[in-house]
Each structure stands twice: as structure tokens, then as C-alpha cells.
Amino acid sequence: AGVRTLAELLAEKKRQAQDGGAPDCSGGGDRSRRDRGPRPLQPLPEFELADKELPLLEERGLALQETYQAAVAVRATEGELARMRMWELREHIASLLPFEATWTLLSETPQVATFVGRFQCRSDVDRACALIAGASGVKLGQSSVRAVLQPQSQCPPFVERWREDFPHHFDDCEPGHRPDTIAIAGIPVRWFARANTREVDIELVKKAFGRFGPVRAVDAIRADASGPGSLDFTALVQYHTYAGFVRALASLHNKHLAMRDGAREMQAAITARVDTSAAMSAEGIAQRRAAERDRERRAAAQAEQARAADEARR
């Protein structure tokens, strides 16, 4: 009675081979897996950090390019910094360097304003660090505000801190509740817009970021969540496989987006982070769609009120 047939043995072996397919992170799936407990998230698959330039969407001249940057903190006693305009501080920092750099305000407190400079090459970053470090403590203009360099001459490390938010095996979790989604913010709408519209073409986004691995789903969130008036958007890109997700994350690391239009090249500073909010889970998508419908209803009601008020004035 204890002897099993060959068909039974093969069926059991097939179940064991498919043992990565449970649909949730709560120990669901077959009984044998629940008895063993949840499996931990698998190690990172092998990957390589992308080249200095990586084509994304050749028909639109889009590519990822390596970002060279350094951070400068401008420190002052409380009140002094508030008396200075940020554009003046940017000019003072730029005047310390004999070559071109683009400076952007990153953060501001009553005592510290931090700017990030983007450079053409790695050697310019190293030269900037040396030059501004040499001028550290020098007053900016006629004020008592002083600049202190925070060197960032090397590429920031590829951080794996997000793994702490996903303790369970990729295949044991529902989509959106596992490390499968990357949020890419700061993408110009017009670079991915449908012809003659201001609407993001989801298929173009899927094609561009699908070069790293098969994409399960894509969503586009406008920067101000108000619709066509937004100039940039955040792409939520969800991958079918753990390997594709990691490959995309590594390729986006320390990169900016560039578009070539003939002899002209434009750049956009993007940020890529692992989504830990389950934004592309079934519940997350449903909540977003409900919020969109609510905004549309409010916009329609406001338009109707404006129309009624206009007719009343007539």
C-alpha cells in the first residue's frame, strides 16, 4: 500500500519544481510549503552596472548617460542664509570653478543650503572637489556666508537597503508585494508623449524600460497629479522577473536621461528608487484609479459650476 506509482512520483517531482509559485507572502500555497515556512528573498542575481551611455528608445533619440556630480553645502548662522538669494549662492559657487557645471538647489534649512553640481566628466568632478575644498571657509560675496564642500567625486554605491523591505522569496509573493517595481521620477512628458498630444504613451515607456527584462505593467503618474498640465511624470515599471528588476535597477543607477534631436542634446535628471509601497499591487492600482475618478468628478463639478456662473452673469 505504501508503494507509489511512477506517475505519482513524477507528479510530486513536478510540484516540487514548481514550488516557487505561491501567490502570497503569508505562507499560502501548497501545504508542504506552509509546513516549511516562508523562504527568504533570494540573493541578487549576477549583473553589471551599465556603460556610460545606454540607448533606451532609438527612434526618439533617448538614452541613459552616466551622471557626474558633487555636492556643496553652504553654511551660515541662522538668519544670514535667509538674507541671500539662492541664485546668488549658485553664482558664487560657479565662480569658484574655471569650467562649466550646472548647479541645482537640493535642500535648504535656516543654516545650510545644499547644491548639487553636474559635470561633463569625472575629471571635472575631481577638479571641482579640489578647488572648492581649497576655498572652503571663504566668504561668498559681501556676506559672512561660507561654503563647505561635501565631496562626492565617486559614483554613489549601488545600495541594496531595499532588500530589508522584502524578506520573502520573490516567487512566494503577489506582484506589487515583492521587489518587482521601480519608480522613475523626473521624466519629461513630451519625451514620451503620443503624437500631437500631452498624454504619456505607456507603450513607449514599456518599450524603453523593457530592454532590461520582460515588463508586467507600467503606470504613469503626473508630477502634480493634475493631468495634462504636468511637465514631467513618474513611471512605475513592474517587471515579471527578479533578474529583470535587478538589471533595470543597476542600469538606472547614477544615470540621467538624455535626448538627442539632431545636433541638440537635452538632459533630464531622473531618480530611480525601489517601490516599497505596493503601488503596483492590485490594491494599489485600484486605489489610484479611484483617486483619478474622484479628481475627474471634482474637475467636472468645478467646470459645471463655472459654466453655470458664466450663464448667470449673462
Q: Which tens digits make up the pLDDT trace of 101-155?
A: 878 887 788 778 888 888 877 788 888 878 877 776 666 655 666 656 555 544 5
- The helix or strand, by DSSP H or E, that contains position 55, with its residue range, turns out to be strand 53-57
- The residues with which 69 forms a beta bridge, in sequence order, are 118
CA distance 285 to 257: 26
Q: Are 241 and 44 in contact (CB under 8 A)?
A: no
pLDDT of residue 61: 93
Residue type for 32, please?
S
Which segments within 157-277 are labelled E, that is strand? 181-188, 215-222, 232-239, 255-261, 264-268, 271-274
Half-sphere exposure of 276 (CA within 13 A, CB side): 10
CA–CA distance, 95 with 140 (Å, rounded to integer): 10
Element (H, E) at 63: strand 62-66
DSSP secondary structure code for residue 151 in this structure:
-
Please, what is the average pLDDT of the chain? 80
Q: Using CA of residue 184, residue 232, residue 66, residue 217, what is the dihedral sign?
A: positive
Mean pLDDT lowest among 6-15, 21-30, 109-118, 136-145: 21-30
CA-to-CA distance for 63 and 253, rounded, in angstroms? 13
pTM of the predicted model over 0.75: no
- Cell numbers 519629461 correspond to 188
Tens-place pLDDT, residues 189-225: 999 999 888 899 999 999 999 999 999 999 999 866 5
Instruction: Answer for the pair 23, 29: CB distance below 8 angstroms, yes or no.
Output: yes
pLDDT grade for 171, boundaries at 50, 70 and 90:
very high
